[in-house]
Chain A
Amino acid sequence: MSTDNQALLQVTDLHKHFPIREGLLIERKVGEVRAVDGVSFDVRAGETLSLVGESGSGKSTTGFCVLQLMKPTSGSVKFEGTELTELGREEMRRMRREMQIVFQDPYSSLDPRMTVGDIVGEPLVVHGIGTRRDRAARIRDLLDVVGFNPSFTNRYPHEFSGGQRQRIGIARALALSPKLIVCDEPVSALDVSIQAQILNLLKDLQQDFGLTYLFIAHDLAVVRGMSDRIAVMNQGRLVEMGPAEEVYTNPQEDYTKALLSAVPIPDPRAMKERKELRRKLRSALAEG
């Protein structure tokens, strides 16, 4: 890693609070949910940083705030040195060409009334890139690259399976040749055998296109093969962060340890051991 390899993405003290409002006629703020509570991390060009946590940990919210799809309550998000939170609407629009997102739910992330071709081509249309013919060619290339048969551009999303839809979503994310892609639990909604296909695809694309990933997931096993570095989140805060190998083999924090030990592994003997351990813990707690 060269010393002038400035981080592609720099997140500093990011906060996202959701107010809880109550009241009959006029709503007053009675409290707030601190979904993201002071999160800081860097992502270097070409690497994959995985943001791992359980539901409610704030990981997806962090991803959205980084892309300014949600306005952060406070904090700084710098992309290639540019402060995103201070950009005007048009400037942010232009910045979006550099950073894209793949969503979790293959069923709600594609507009059911648009054809596959239109969906993948929308980024190009929105930014006025190329002629219609150029765009058609690019769409075909993109679909090809994600392993989706390009002759089906006139079909609708509902005609395809979850895995195929995710491919469409990935093609869309690649359309503008971004540098950074936020993958928001891209395989959580897929079957195991399809997960493997998509994860392999993402890895290949990263290599072929020099992409940087902010990979959000709840399953530590899934990110194992994907990550260079891992950041563990719990209740809006970063609990532990470090190189992947380190975090997996030598977790420092209790929460990380608990998370790692809770991941089910397809090994009956190991699982039975764990069960015994938990049982002993429970009876120890009951007595003590």
Chain B
Amino acid sequence: MALLDVTDLRTHFFTREGTVRAVDGVSFSVEKGKTLGIVGESGCGKSVTALSIMGLIPKPPAKIVSGSVLYDGRDLTTLSERQLEDVRAREIAMIFQDPMTSLNPTLTIGTQITETIRRHYDVSQKQANKKAIELLEKVRIPRAPERLSDYPHRFSGGMRQRVMIAIALSCDPKLLIADEPTTALDVTVQASVLDLLDDLRHEYDMSMIIITHDMGVVAEAADDIVVMYAGQVVEHASTLELFDNPEHPYTEALLGALPQLEGANVRQGRLTAIPGRPPDLINPPEACRFGPRCRYAGSDDCTVNEPQLREIRRGHWVRSAHPASERSGSRVPEQVG
């Protein structure tokens, strides 16, 4: 049974310029003990999805207009703010992208950890401190007892991220949502943070949603992957399946546009660029949203009707009129230029 079940989630931002349909019909589920990766570029709606799950979207101007977020049987979209506060940290925890600004610079990290603990558990400050030290040790921060009284500015980016993870874990959540956890970090630090998350996940028997634009990160960290584009899910498959057999033209193009250390692209030194830009989410096209940039878009269905998400193989969903395995000819897309 899935721990988290998101069904047809739609989050819209009501602005003067129009209604921005940031998340427009997103569905996925997270199994117990598994990691789901949500991948996409700026503006695709991945962060807003995560915030919608947590009920952290600014309302106004945002609003979950339809859809459900079933966690452990309860629909989070129907809960009051107070009820959501009980769910946060205790059931679902979130770590944010920029460790530089996600910690309060005027409070010691000890305070920031213990205040979360004491919000959800009836313990004394002393007990909370003890737990905080345990957590810091868990996230591999050396000399934990001394560092409890340090302020965030005394920690490096990677360590601050670990502190955030410690805060997130403080109440034994069942689901951890990590929004771009490694983006602001150096490459060498990224690996250790991902390793840490993986170990902790096993130890705490947590599920995880990892949101990123980095295909390399999901290749390592995720069991299943959801690819988002323009507020929708365009492809959903297990990690191995997605990388071995990408179906959606966007996924293919994304993989092709990646600068890589080795591979066919490299020798030429030329990357496969995706022309154009993501569509306007105030007036998304009625038809396939990737259409204008897709090299397979024809004068057929995809310019008129919006393709629906369909299961092209077992466990592999795609929203496209021209998935790779249904195209005639070679599967390797032609290079541009």
Chains A and B directly touch (beta carbon < 8 Å): yes
For chains A and B in complex, what number of residue pairs have CB atoms within 8 angstroms?
Answer: 123
How many chain A residues touch B (CB < 8 A): the figure is 43
Q: Judge whether B97 is part of the interface by a CB distance below 8 angstroms.
A: no
Q: Is the CB–CB distance between B216 and A203 below 8 Å?
A: no
- Report how far A213 CA is from B187 CA in the complex, Å: 24
Within the complex, the shortest CB–CB distance from A203 to chain B, in Å, comes to 7
* A191 contact from B213, B259, B261, Cβ within 8 A: B213
**B253, closest chain A residue (CB):** A193
Contact across chains for B187 and A267 when beta carbons are under 8 A apart: no
- Docked-complex contact A221 and B253, CB < 8 angstroms: no
Task: Report A-chain residues with C-beta under 8 Å of the C-beta of B271.
Answer: 195-196, 199-200, 225
Q: Are A263 and B216 in contact (CB under 8 A)?
A: yes
B216 and A224 contact, CB distance less than 8 A: no
Residue B136 interfacial (CB < 8 Å): no
Stretch at the interface among A12-20, A60-68, A133-141, A254-262: A254-262
Q: Which residues of B contact A149 (CB under 8 A)?
A: none
Q: What residues of B have a CB within 8 angstroms of the CB of A161 in the complex?
A: 277
A47 at the interface (CB under 8 A from B): no
Choose among B41, B186, B195 the residue that contacts A193 (Cβ–Cβ < 8 A): B41
Q: Number of contact residues on B: which range applies?
A: 35 or more
A285: interface (CB < 8 Å): no
Q: Is the CB of B214 within 8 A of A195?
A: no
The interface-forming segment of A89-97, A169-177, A178-186, A268-276 is A268-276
Q: How far apart sit A106 and B311, CA to CA, in the bound complex (Å)?
A: 40
Check A200 against B266 for contact (C-beta < 8 Å): no
| A126 at interface, CB cutoff 8 A | no
Contact of B270 among A203, A219, A272 (CB under 8 A): A203
CB of A264 within 8 A of CB of B220, answer yes
- Which B residues are in CB contact (< 8 Å) with A278? 191, 195
> A264 and B190: CB pair below 8 A?
yes
- Closest chain-A Cβ to B188's Cβ sits at a distance in Å of 5
CA distance A269 to B41 in the complex (A): 23
Mark interface residues in B239-250 (1 if CB within 8 Å of A CB, else 0). Answer: 110010000000
- B254, B259, B337: the one within 8 Å of A221 (CB): B259
The CA-CA distance from A191 to B254 in the complex, in Å, is 10
Closest-CB distance, B37 to chain A (whole angstroms): 10
A226 on interface, CB distance cutoff 8 Å: yes
Within 8 A of B (CB), among A195-241: 195-197, 199-200, 203, 218-226
Residue in contact with A275 in the complex, picked from B198, B240, B255, CB distance below 8 Å: B198
Give A261's nearest chain B residue, CB to CB. B191
Q: Give chain A nearest CB distance to B159 CB in angstroms.
A: 14
**Interface: A23 (CB within 8 A):** no
Partner of A274, one of B187, B220, B277: B220
Could you show 21 A-B contacts with beta carbons less than 8 Å apart? A191-B213, A192-B213, A193-B254, A195-B257, A196-B257, A196-B272, A196-B273, A218-B186, A222-B259, A224-B260, A225-B259, A225-B269, A248-B261, A263-B216, A265-B262, A266-B258, A267-B219, A267-B243, A268-B239, A268-B240, A282-B195
Q: Which 4 A-B pairs have the closest CB atoms?
A: A264-B216, A225-B269, A271-B220, A196-B271
